């Protein structure tokens, strides 16, 4: 069965410092991996995805994520955090079979960037 784990309920970081939001996954076969961000009272916004190719994926708002197959991880990173990055972040996985459509979401990690 497919699953996603986001081990941290909350991540606190000072503005200007690098941030990492962790995600590990379990899927049969090759994974398609996604990160979404949710601001208060808003829907989820797509940030980036890994399908194949380069393990380092760049996305919106300066975010990037690194796919690590041996560790089954897809951690979200940003070199310099902004206060406006404070939001709820979701990792999601789908297996790569042609008929697969269902995204499995993690429980979410709240990022708090303090000034």
Partner 1 sequence: DAGVIQSPRHEVTEMGQEVTLRCKLISGHNSLFWYRQTMMRGLELLIYFNNNVPIDDSGMPEDRFSAKMPNASFSTLKIQPSEPRDSAVYFCASSLGRGEQFFGPGTRLTVL
Cα–Cα distance, 80 to 12 (Å, whole number) = 13
**Strand segments (E) across the chain:** 3-5, 10-14, 19-21, 24-26, 31-38, 44-50, 56-58, 64-68, 73-78, 87-95, 104-105, 109-114
* Site stretch for partner 1 (CB under 8 A), options 23-31, 34-42, 60-68, 70-78: 34-42
43 touches partner 1 (CB under 8 A): yes
- The least distance separating partner 1 from the CB of residue 46, rounded to whole angstroms, comes to 5
* Site stretch for partner 1 (CB under 8 A), options 7-15, 21-29, 69-77, 96-104: 96-104
**Mask 47-76, x = binds partner 1 (CB under 8 A)?**
--x---------------------------
């Amino acid at each position: 069965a497919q699953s996603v784990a986001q081990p941290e309920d909350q991540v606190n970081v000072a503005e200007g410092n690098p941030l990492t939001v962790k995600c590990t996954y379990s899927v049969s076969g090759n994974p398609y991996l996604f990160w979404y961000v949710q601001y208060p009272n808003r829907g989820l916004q797509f940030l980036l995805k890994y399908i194949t190719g380069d393990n380092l994926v760049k996305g919106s708002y300066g975010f990037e994520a690194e796919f690590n197959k041996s560790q089954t991880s897809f951690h979200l990173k940003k070199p310099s955090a902004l206060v406006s990055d404070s939001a709820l972040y979701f990792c999601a996985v789908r297996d790569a079979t042609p008929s697969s459509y269902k995204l499995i979401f993690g429980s979410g990690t709240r990022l708090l960037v303090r000034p």
